[in-house]
Amino acid sequence: MSGQPKTPTDRGLRPLPLTGGCPCGAIRYEIGAAPLLLYACHCTNCQRQSGGAFAMNMPVRSETFRILRGQPKAWRRLSPTGVETVSWFCADCGGRIHGSRAGRPESITVRAGGLDDTSWLVPAFHMFVRSAQPWIQLPAPDCYDTVPHGFRARAKAWQVAWGRC
């Protein structure tokens, strides 16, 4: 991984708003402020829900996220830790748009792969690597068996990297 960019600014800050949508285009959205963080989650729930080896999760402030077209459908459930979680997806193609958790109304978590431009995505860290697929080669030292200590400090460092605190 040496020589590869480590922060969004290494690849060039993308102009705001960030835009994205579902695979079929029925749902379109925009994000009007810099993300709070970007991380890769390798938990089995994210693997199952993404249909891949991990999910790229990008928390954003709720008030900066806006649906431009379409109406996402909700799937409500309890997380493995017992917290009420809502996943929003396209009713036409099933593409995951974002999720929210009870007790955190100030932020939502966008699935970063739905952005129109994903070329700048570099996760700050990888978590739940204890359940990562064995063929994945992970960039040590930014890998954690579960949720890393200092999660909020990492979010702040991400925001500093964006230059938009």
Residue at 89 is within a domain:
yes
Number of H helices and E strands in the chain, helices first, is 3, 11
Q: Given this model, what pLDDT does residue 30 score? A: 98
Instruction: Report whether 57 contacts 39 (CB < 8 A).
Output: yes
Whether residue 79 lies inside any domain: the answer is yes
Range of the domain at 29: 18-133+142-159
Supply the pLDDT for residue 122.
86
d(CA 75, CA 141): 35
| CB-facing half-sphere around the CA of 49: CA atoms within 13 A | 21
In this predicted structure, the answer to whether residue 100 has a pLDDT above a threshold of 70 is: yes
Mean pLDDT of the chain: 86
Question: What domain count does the chain have?
Answer: 1
The verdict on residue 8 lying in a domain is: no
Average pLDDT for residues 14-31, to the nearest whole number?
A: 95
Which pLDDT value is given to residue 104? 86
Residue 140 to residues 127, 129, 144, 145: CA-CA distances in angstroms? Answer: 11, 11, 9, 12
Express each pLDDT in 62-77 by its tens digit: 999 999 999 999 999 8
Asked if residue 120 is part of any domain, the answer here is yes
Main-chain phi, psi angles of 45, to 5 degrees: -65, -45
Average pLDDT over residues 36-42: 90
Query: Is residue 10 domain-resident?
Result: no
Q: Higher pLDDT residue, 12 or 145?
A: 145
Sheet of strand 28-31: strand arrangement: 18-21, 28-31, 65-69
90 within domain boundaries: yes
Residue 148 sits in a domain whose CATH number is 2.170.150.70
pLDDT on residue 90 = 97
Q: Does 62 map to a domain?
A: yes
- Rounded Cα–Cα distance for residues 98 and 77 (Å): 14
- Residue 163: per-residue pLDDT: 65
